[in-house]
Structure 1
Amino acid sequence: MTVLRRRLWPILAATAVAIGGIAATGPAADAAPPSQDVYVAPYGNDHAAGDARHPVRTLARAQDLVRQRDHHLAADLTVHLADGTYRLDHPLTLDSRDSGSGGHQVVWQGSGKAVISGGKQVTGWHQVTGHSGLWAAPAPRGLSDTRQLYVDGVRATRAAGQVPVTLTKTATGYTAASDTLAKWPDIAGAEFVYTSGETLWNMVRDGLGQWTQPRCDVASASGTTVTMVQPCWDNSNKRVEFPDIPGRTVSMVGPGALTNGAHVTYMENARELLDTPGEWYLDRAAHTVYYMPRKGEDLHRADVEAPALEKLVDGRGTAAAPLHDVAFRGLQFSYATWLTPSSPEGFSEIQAGYTISGPTGYATEGLCGFQAGGQCPFGAWTKEPGNVAIDHGRDLDFSDDAFVHLGAAGLELGDGTQHTTVRGSVFTDISGNGVEVGGVDQALPTDDADVTRDVQLTDNHLYALPREFTGGVPIVNGYTQHDLISHNQIDHVGYSGISMGWGGWPDKIGSPATPNDSHDNTVSDNLITDYMQGLDDGGGIYTQGLTGSSMATGEKVTGNVIHTQFGLGKSVYTDNGCTYETVSGNVLYGASYANVASTHVDYRDALHNNDPTLISGNWWEQGDADGSNKGVVTQGNHLIASASDAPAGVVADAGLEPAYRSVLARRFAPVSVPVAPTRVATAVGASGTLYTAFNPTWADGGSPLLGYRVTAADPAGHTAATAFVSAADFAATALVRLTGLTDGVPYTVTVTAVNSHGDSAPSLPSAPLAPKAATAPAAAPTGLKLKAQATAATLDWTPPTVVGDSPVIGYRITVTDPSGSRTVDVAGRDVLVTQPSAHAMFRVLGDLTPGTPYTVGVAAVTGAGTGPAATVTGTTPAA
């Protein structure tokens, strides 16, 4: 802050007092009581009075002053934070003593440029002799470890790369083909990452479910023996299975062990992997930070921040003494980390950032009623913590805030949070979940003070997350009541957009969902787009478990606009045990194999009906006819052949309301290059050709993506072919064709994302693959269904079971009526992933004529050409 600003604030404050005196009578002005407000500034002095002329410096001192004044408030008490950075040595820990009183609030108020930081600046940079492009600096005092580093507000990448040696899985880790890893002096603490997902071409499927990305550290390496840390290794590989149900874990969520566990997708956090601009590494033993600057970065001038704290605000209310009547407005919460994944606990993921933890977590945690010694309730695994966390808070307000550059979840509104609002705020560049509401550790609270209810999340922008724990979700809502999640915009995210409920998995074995106290929750008028960019088996809005006690009290999903899904899933996903949900009046398109998935058996009685669900009045592509399927009622939905067929008013009303749309323009870092794409895979086509597919980046660096640059390298590392695909073309095709290669030579492929600032770092390479001429076409698809309406029809089919020597890269649809025929070529991400997963897919055929018979053929397209077609006939109803 400039000297002028320092002088100006007291002058303005004095002027304001003088103006107030003019507004009243002269004597009254002299008698006016002094302001109870507290003023804080980075240049303040904690020995000062804390008034406008003499601000204090730290939040801790401001808290002391608040506690002296907040007992009998006659008006709101505001803590005014001047612009600047407030570096915390300890979390701002609040309890009931920090609450408002007399119906008035304590308001922690900034202008949008007051940053509450848990970071430490890294200074003293110098070039490392003998290592071109590598710089080093002493780690700041008090920084023992961190998982993140930021350069001028741009997240750097922890040193990452492929495992340099072949591994064979053992009971405690791996046997390596050589002693390469044992020769790395920093191998303890290197992290193995297991990226999951549907098998795509020659990419191996790893992990603990398509929706997870577990991580475990290396404990040690000696010779060829690689030992992994405990309990992360056991919790990821010894999940107890039912003795009489082969392959079914007692958790009923994902496999019992790391699938194909000998294959580690990639590894992080070793100096030997530090080889790309934008990467960093903390040598904890030498207390040194290493970094390779990106083009244009000057470390002598850059603000380099290493997050040190794990919490910035820690609200510790209790059922008997809640934190209440507190507001946080116009504040930025930044530079906090989360170190548990770097500990022996690791990150043994279950779903949505929940993990299995503890020495016997695999056999006990959350397995109530299904395993001897199982902890209750079922499904109560370890929740990802929030860098800003509230427990038992009431009448709280987070408005116009920013949760950015964070290493865990952004904001955690834990058990007992009631009558709390989060409005007009931004959540981005967060390692895990954005907002967490409630929990799942109290299925049926016995005290109303422990119930989470009446929480409103409205008009927030959540985007470009998660950045580290890819299975994270922008909004995670557990067991709650009367919550409203409305008018938010969620875009460019790695997995599902909103996750509701919990505990429904027992229906996989014919048992009812875990009873819980959820009811009367509403998810309405949100705009969710470009979701599931990294993982699979999720949705724009995902719900599982009981949502109420009747259709009247069950969850309402209404007025949302959800489109442009990349991964395999649904627009609105009603998963195991999801009961009494209403899905009505939404606009749903661009999903892979369903707009609404709703049919699960209701095991609460012996009738074996389906979980009661109402699907009505939506504009969608699914095309299901009206009817009732044992409790699932479908009625009055509208088939759309394009987005323009949806009502303009419904579309315009979704997302941020007009008064809050300026939130979309807020930025917290300079424009930088995008983040690299992930999950690069290749397949053969014609002679000398490779097809390449990959997951796009969901963090564009602050500038829209222009496209992707694809490079094939030969075994010597020389570039053999390149191609560029625009972002729009890749969104339509989800693959790139590389030509001019030599058959029989194995090539690896890398991809960069390109924006106006330049190219991202290269992706991790694909597995080597040698081109060859594909000769065997795919068989015909199966299970064709034509759901015809007057002017459009939904066409469903199941991919062919035999695809020859090249995977399906598209479909050719032929539509024939008495006047002739036309062809429709189908491409996209769902084409690539539905075949190996055996999921059906669908397309809408538009421009049909009422009362007309049609014959529709579908043929699979591979690198070997177009295969035989399967056909279906139907007649459109009269208008």
Structure 2
Amino acid sequence: MPTHRRAALVTLATAVLALGVPALAAPAEAASSDVYVSPTGDDHADGGARHPVRTLQRARDLARARAGDLASDLTVHLAPGTYRQSGPLALDARDSGTNGHRVIWQGTGTTVVSGGRKVVGWRQVPGRSGLWSAPAPQGLTDTRQLYVDGVRAQRARGEVPVRLTQTATGYTASSDAIARWKHPSDAEFVYTSGEALWNVERNGLGQWTEPRCRIASAEGTTITMAQPCWDNSNKRVEFPDIPGRTVGMVGPGHLTNDGKASYVENAYELLDQPGEWYLDRSAHRVYYLPRPGENLARADVEAAAAEQLVDGRGTADAPVHDIAFRGIRFSYATWLTPNGPEGFSEIQAGYTVTGGRGWATQGLCQYVEGGTCPFASWTKMPGNLAFTHARRIEFADDVFAHLGASGLELGAGTEDASVRGSIFTDISGNGLEIGGVDGQAPASGVQVTDNHLYALPREYHGGVAILNGYTRNDTIAHNQIDHVGYSAISMGWGGWPDKIGDPATPNPSHGNTVRDNLISDYMQMLDDGGGIYTQGLTGTSLADGEKVTGNVVHDQWGLGKSVYTDNGCTYETVEGNVLYHASYANVASRHTDYRDGLGNNDPTLVKDNWWEEGTADGDNKGLVTTGNRIMASPSDVPPEILAGAGLEPAYRSLLDRRIGARSVPEAPSRVGTSTAGPDALYVTFNPTFADGGSPVRSYTARAYDSTGRQAGQQTVAATDFRRTALVRIGGLPAAGGPFTVTVTANNDVGGSAPSLASLPLSPTTATVLPGAPTSPKLRTASMAATLAWTPPTATGDAKVVGYRVTVSDGRAPVDVTGRDVLVTQPSAKGMFRVLAGLKAATTYTVTVAAVTAAGTGPAATVTATTRP
């Protein structure tokens, strides 16, 4: 569960009334056309209150027969319990409401629509301490997800056990270790990406992606990778006259770092940590290493089997319409495409390159011969619940959890749909997808309000909480989004051509609004994103362009911006937001408007925000900044502005709803080290954003010598790590290096599995001081100022771990630490800090100096006068 909570609660009666979750109506009160369903019902029954049917499909057929000429809403009453689906509940125009009335699928809050298969018959595996196995459930041929008491288990994973040298079709390995595995073709290489930091390898297809490709075969030392995933990840066509620039204009043309995999997943031989599992498809058996406290004799173990739970498929001429889903939990669906030859060759936000020659033609339109159009129309991750050509579809008080693709997809041709009062969590990819980018009918009039989205994505870490493509007049308002791996809200598409001086792809978007959302603890795993990220044309003018207003966005972890106006983002208004604790910018990314030859910037209005950036008012060729206020802390902001963001009072009880059993946290990721002296290492990592339902209290870093023996450890409180982003392990033996480090996250339940290990590093004595920071600026208000600077060009013989700021009014020096100190350095991005408590119309001199293991370097100095 998230660590940020609302203090205000409402009574149960008020919440039930607001969320519209009545108990099953008494038979005497029910409309005669209503249908009743129970897990213990009988599909030969008439579906009346006293004779319910058993399956959703039979209930649909009865409702379909009764919905042709409604005089009132028709309710399908779903009794408490689990409704297991081997395939989706398929709906079309015949299942729609009529005469202005709806067909309402009404659950009780404990109604579960499940695509899972229960795994039973567990026995200990002889000769493998702690390992258990059970026969795979009837009908389960493959899956990517297993859950124990509602807690996601981790597919067996570990370090690649061999050195890999990339070839045209895969790799040459340093030994035949992988070829000797039981089923090497089950294994999947994962290529993690992130901002280059310390000695962390930067693999993948851009720091916002995490592609995956399966092994096709391993014979001796020859590893052949599955096609077309391998070519789609390594042969993306590039402009012949622009070195390194792909025609897709998003990320590199091939896996970086010589195609080295960051880790390998899904092999029996990797089962070595509690909470890991493996499905042996040929033997039809499931293997699992229980976590402490789990009892497989009593546990509810669910293997996700169905790939869709609801499929609402209308057409432009016969849309599916006027249907509501209320009080239902949708769980235990999978997505099997990444297990196959397509793999997961990611572009951005869960979109992938697919097809035999996807690398050469898909979405490349006019830029290559045979390119498919429109530009950037790559393959979207599907939703486990999906609607196309749907009108007036409603989801209210629902839960989307334990899902293996995107949670809910409101696709092409969706109009006037609403999603409110619902929870999205523990989803492998995107939480909610709206519209598309493939030239089909845009979504329009979609209302996404008062939902809680958190602890996602759990598998495809480049996914986002809410993905909005080419849409019109959508509203995303009063949602709380926290603890997510990448961007929280992603809007628009197709702006990348400005990288080569072309205008953004024309699209039908206009009139979209993102307002009054509360976003925190975002970009916990990947980089180059934002709390609210937008690219491409958003309208035809500032009047009908996208409005980003009244949002509170804070506590970014990775490299990015609070509100990120990326390539081609045109006609966006960013007004009245509260934006703080970002790395190098609160708002905007200046881009040239290539629709004419005037050299102006994409028209953007940044107005009346509370922020830390401190940029002065002005008009930079169409990028207008005006009326923004420097804030030193949230206490500077009027309380009513803060209170107006996030869930409205009637919905704040969503924050207290527990999904799944309490468990240990997910392991941290991307562990990197740097020298901290002759016998010490600094350790940094990405904290877990899935805390197991109990807040993370601390992290423990453990160093291991070259023989694998533990050489030192250090525990840091989660609150301290949040402030410093560092753990220091001292007292390491001088002759024991190089050392690798793993990190565990600890909550009230226990400790996570160890993270994957850092690269090996030996501590060294640091003696060369860093240079002075560059380009210092002091952006002043009357009683505060923003100090901005960029990292030193020379860091000496150690990494920058902090900055020391002095102010001429005699206050104690300010030590600047945190993740932004670490991620802005290798990218040479600027950073900033607010200095509070200043006097109006007063001249101040401020210095800033970099700190490394060698000490504090020379300072850069800047002088400015505060405003009257």
Band of TM-score, shorter chain: over 0.9
1:118-163 deviations in whole A, cap 9, x for unaligned? 0000111100000000000011111110000000100000000000
2:766 to 744, 768, 774: 774
Q: CA deviation at 1:637?
A: 0.5
Alignment correspondent of 2:347: 350
* Count of aligned pairs between the two proteins: 845
Contact 2:176 2:221 in 1 (8 A): yes
Q: CA deviation at 1:262?
A: 3.8
Alignment correspondent of 1:755: 747
1:685-732 deviations in whole A, cap 9, x for unaligned? 112010000000000000111011111112222221111111110010
1:510-530 deviations in whole A, cap 9, x for unaligned? 000000000000000000000
Distance 1:204 1:674 in 2: 24
Contact 1:780 1:800 in 2 (8 A): yes
Moved more, 864-873 or 500-509: 864-873
1:79-134 deviations in whole A, cap 9, x for unaligned? 00000000012210000011111111000000111100000001111000000000
What is the identity, as a one-letter code, of the residue corresponding to 1:831? V
Distance 2:533 2:657 in 1: 28
Alignment correspondent of 1:813: 805
1:394-441 deviations in whole A, cap 9, x for unaligned? 011000000000000000000000010000000000000000000000
Alignment correspondent of 1:26: none
Q: Does 1:698 align with 2:695?
A: no
Moved more, 248-257 or 659-668: 659-668
Contact 2:711 2:733 in 1 (8 A): no
Alignment correspondent of 2:775: 783
Distance 1:840 1:139 in 2: 53
Alignment correspondent of 2:840: 850
Q: Does 1:802 align with 2:794?
A: yes
Alignment correspondent of 1:259: 256
Alignment correspondent of 2:51: 54
1:665 to 636, 641, 656: 656
Q: CA deviation at 1:15?
A: 6.5
User: Equivalences for 1:475-490 in 2 at 5 Å?
Assistant: 475-490=466-481
What is the identity, as a one-letter code, of the residue corresponding to 1:387? N
1:149-192 deviations in whole A, cap 9, x for unaligned? 00010000000000001111111111111111111121102000
1:766-806 deviations in whole A, cap 9, x for unaligned? 11111121111111111111111211111111111211221
Contact 2:87 2:307 in 1 (8 A): no
Distance 1:109 1:246 in 2: 57
Contact 1:784 1:871 in 2 (8 A): yes
Q: Does 1:131 align with 2:128?
A: yes
Sort the Cα spacing of 1:160 and 1:13 in 2 relative to 1 into closer, same or farther, 3 A.
closer
User: Equivalences for 1:409-808 in 2 at 5 Å?
Assistant: 409-442=406-439, 450-744=441-735, 745-808=737-800
Alignment correspondent of 1:77: 74
Sort the Cα spacing of 1:738 and 1:15 in 2 relative to 1 into closer, same or farther, 3 A.
closer
Q: What is the aligned-residue identity percentage? A: 68
Structure 2: gaps of 5 or more residues: 1-22
Alignment correspondent of 1:828: 818
What is the identity, as a one-letter code, of the residue corresponding to 2:137? P
1:142 to 110, 121, 139: 139
Distance 2:56 2:199 in 1: 54
What TM-score, normalized by structure 2, do the two folds share? 0.96
Contact 2:436 2:442 in 1 (8 A): no
What is the identity, as a one-letter code, of the residue corresponding to 1:595? N
Distance 2:67 2:338 in 1: 39
Alignment correspondent of 1:861: 851
2:281 to 280, 284, 287: 284
Contact 2:182 2:268 in 1 (8 A): no
Q: CA deviation at 1:498?
A: 0.1
Q: CA deviation at 1:14?
A: 10
Q: Does 1:95 align with 2:87?
A: no
Q: CA deviation at 1:16?
A: 5.0
Contact 2:480 2:647 in 1 (8 A): yes
Distance 1:743 1:287 in 2: 50
Distance 2:770 2:120 in 1: 59
Sort the Cα spacing of 1:849 and 1:232 in 2 relative to 1 into closer, same or farther, 3 A.
same
Distance 1:207 1:151 in 2: 31
Distance 1:853 1:668 in 2: 54
What is the identity, as a one-letter code, of the residue corresponding to 1:569? G
SS in 1 for 2:257: coil
SS in 2 for 1:463: strand
Distance 1:461 1:15 in 2: 31
Sort the Cα spacing of 1:284 and 1:13 in 2 relative to 1 into closer, same or farther, 3 A.
closer
SS in 2 for 1:659: helix
Q: Which structure 1 residue ranges, 4+ long, deviate > 4 Å from structure 2? A: 12-16
Structure 1: gaps of 5 or more residues: 1-11, 21-32
Distance 2:52 2:26 in 1: 17
Q: CA deviation at 1:261?
A: 3.0
What is the identity, as a one-letter code, of the residue corresponding to 1:457? V
Contact 2:516 2:549 in 1 (8 A): yes
SS in 1 for 2:59: helix
1:40 to 37, 40, 43: 37
Distance 1:225 1:296 in 2: 42
Alignment correspondent of 1:237: 234
What is the identity, as a one-letter code, of the residue corresponding to 2:691? D
1:808-848 deviations in whole A, cap 9, x for unaligned? 0000111114xx45411000001011111111111111111
What TM-score, normalized by structure 1, do the two folds share? 0.95
Distance 1:641 1:185 in 2: 58
What is the identity, as a one-letter code, of the residue corresponding to 1:679? R
Distance 1:768 1:788 in 2: 45
Distance 1:263 1:232 in 2: 15
Sort the Cα spacing of 1:34 and 1:631 in 2 relative to 1 into closer, same or farther, 3 A.
closer
Alignment correspondent of 2:11: none
Q: Does 1:391 align with 2:388?
A: yes
What is the identity, as a one-letter code, of the residue corresponding to 1:530? D
Q: Does 1:250 align with 2:240?
A: no
What is the identity, as a one-letter code, of the residue corresponding to 2:783? T
Contact 1:682 1:690 in 2 (8 A): yes
SS in 2 for 1:551: coil
What is the identity, as a one-letter code, of the residue corresponding to 1:171? A
Q: Does 1:326 align with 2:316?
A: no
What is the identity, as a one-letter code, of the residue corresponding to 1:395? R
Distance 1:742 1:303 in 2: 46
Q: Does 1:188 align with 2:185?
A: yes
Alignment correspondent of 1:3: none
Distance 2:259 2:351 in 1: 24
SS in 1 for 2:375: coil
Q: CA deviation at 1:873?
A: 1.4
Alignment correspondent of 2:19: none
Moved more, 289-298 or 845-854: 845-854
What is the identity, as a one-letter code, of the residue corresponding to 2:319? P
Contact 1:743 1:772 in 2 (8 A): no
Sort the Cα spacing of 1:648 and 1:47 in 2 relative to 1 into closer, same or farther, 3 A.
same
